[in-house]
Amino acid sequence: MTDATRRRPSLFARRSWGETSRISAILRRETVGGALLLGGALIALVWSNSPWSGAYQTLRDTTVGPAALHLDLSVATWAADGLLAVFFFVAGLELKREFVAGDLRDPRRAAVPVAAAVGGVIVPAVLYALIAAAAGGDAGRGWAIPTATDIAFALAVLAVVGRFLPSALRTFLLTLAVVDDLLAIMIIAVFYTSDLSVGPLLGALLPLAAFAFLVQRRVRSWWLLLPLAALTWVLVHESGVHATVAGVMLAFTVPVVRSAAAGGPDAGPGLAEHFEHRVRPISAGIAVPVFAFLSAGVTVGGLAGLATALTDRVAVGIAVGLIVGKPVGILIATWLVSRFTRADLDEGLNWLDVLGLALLGGIGFTVSLLIGELAFGLGSARDDHAKVAVLAGSLVSALLASVILRARSRVYRRVHEAESVDLDHDGVPDVFQPEPPRPTDAGHGSPGPG
């Protein structure tokens, strides 16, 4: 038996150069978005704790929109329901691409990030429930707050302390975050939907079907697609399901690969990648930072107010869920996959590197703030305490991850140098796999679903 046949599978195997390049481009754009997100949150915190905090509250509570359509919403609600629908549309596009043409289409590759994401949801939720159980009232509704990972915030940290993080670990982090987004969407749709109206929800299927019909025929005209998307959003909002779910529904209809008539997968990026390229800058540069600005502003009330917020069992449960529960869940799930598949870590890596990534998973910001508002109501005392806990827990998780990743920077630099060697000068580093077979559309010459 040769060494090759005896070699155990790798826990964080490298992808092809094409997939690695695509993910690197996404990470660069999300890093810029993360910096804008942090800037928006910082401005909100400073403003809401300044002598002009009343102006911030007035801005956030200003009502805009037609009352006849039940869309006379506060500016903060427009940000949570409207702008984050753009964010979830991009997340849905990335999620579908991963299932159709990325890591998640291969069960062996998908096992690690999927298990890690599930573990990173279950453990913090359980810890929160155990800690907040004695708080009474509506405290139990906040169980999902510490389950989300904010990829933009996490990548902003990586940009500072993990520039040379190996490509396989970066891919793992992004894939984990994509699955995390899917779980968050499911949680919001199932557990935070109240007063469901079936009529508008069924009505939303009509513009959604029209949108799907057009995109499956590779129609890109915004003046056709945007009104249909907006009508779908309005009807989902009217149904009682959180309106951000409409963004995911729309994204899942977009084909990932080109039709056979258009040359098939080898002819270039599909419509999903085209939309993602156009919409991601809007999501990362406008939608998420504006939501952070309108959501993160909480009046702390000095040291006494901070102490009051952080001693609330709800806040303690959130902070412990993010700082302890999230990394523990990710680590345990990853170890279990390694144990049952007999997969090894790549040469040069160890479990300290997995711990660093798992701590980055404890940076829960955008979706955590959204779930806090859904659980307790925007502006309520418990929502304010939840925001303080999310900010504190995310900051501590970021600092702990930074310490570990910075300590391993020499190892990452060596791996990065090895991944940059291109002795045959073909533009593809020698360590990367050849391109895998591309998925193909069904049918002969017709635009099949992607």
How much is the pLDDT for 257?
A: 79
How much is the pLDDT for 394?
A: 94
> Does the structure show a pLDDT above 80 at 13?
no
Decide if 302 contacts 49 (C-beta within 8 A). no
How much is the pLDDT for 449?
A: 44
CA angle 90, 25, 281 (to 5 degrees): 40
Read off the pLDDT of residues 100-147 as tens digits, 9 standing for 90 and up.
Answer: 877 678 777 788 889 999 999 999 999 999 999 888 888 999 999 999
How much is the pLDDT for 440?
A: 47
Residue 104: burial class (beta carbons within 10 Å; 0-12, 13-18, 19+): buried
> Does the structure show a pLDDT above 70 at 396?
yes
Read off the pLDDT of residues 318-364 as tens digits, 9 standing for 90 and up.
Answer: 999 999 999 999 999 999 998 888 777 776 778 999 999 999 999 98
**Higher local confidence (pLDDT), 165 or 395:** 395
> Does the structure show a pLDDT above 90 at 259?
no
Helix (H) or strand (E) holding 63: strand 63-64
Decide if 447 contacts 441 (C-beta within 8 A). yes
Decide if 446 contacts 259 (C-beta within 8 A). yes
Q: How far is CA 60 from CA 26, 77, 89, 290, 333, in A?
A: 31, 8, 24, 11, 40
Of 35-44, 146-155, 232-241, which gets the smallest average pLDDT? 146-155
* Proportion of the chain above pLDDT 70, given as a percent: 86
Residue 13: burial class (beta carbons within 10 Å; 0-12, 13-18, 19+): middle
How much is the pLDDT for 435?
A: 55
How much is the pLDDT for 424?
A: 72
How close are the terminal C-alpha atoms of the chain, in Å? 41
> Does the structure show a pLDDT above 50 at 5?
no
**Higher local confidence (pLDDT), 183 or 152:** 183
> Does the structure show a pLDDT above 80 at 2?
no
Residues 150-168, mean pLDDT to the nearest whole number: 78
Average pLDDT along the chain: 84
> Does the structure show a pLDDT above 70 at 261?
no
Helices (H), 349-420: 351-360, 366-376, 381-407, 409-419
Residues 375-395, mean pLDDT to the nearest whole number: 91
Decide if 413 contacts 167 (C-beta within 8 A). no
> Does the structure show a pLDDT above 60 at 219?
yes
Q: Which residue has the tokens 């935070």?
A: 192
How much is the pLDDT for 63?
A: 94
Of 58-72, 78-92, 235-249, 434-448, which gets the smallest average pLDDT? 434-448
pTM (two decimals): 0.85
> Does the structure show a pLDDT above 50 at 84?
yes
Residues 40-51, mean pLDDT to the nearest whole number: 92
Of 48-62, 131-145, 314-328, 428-442, which gets the smallest average pLDDT? 428-442
pLDDT confidence band for 433 (50 / 70 / 90):
low
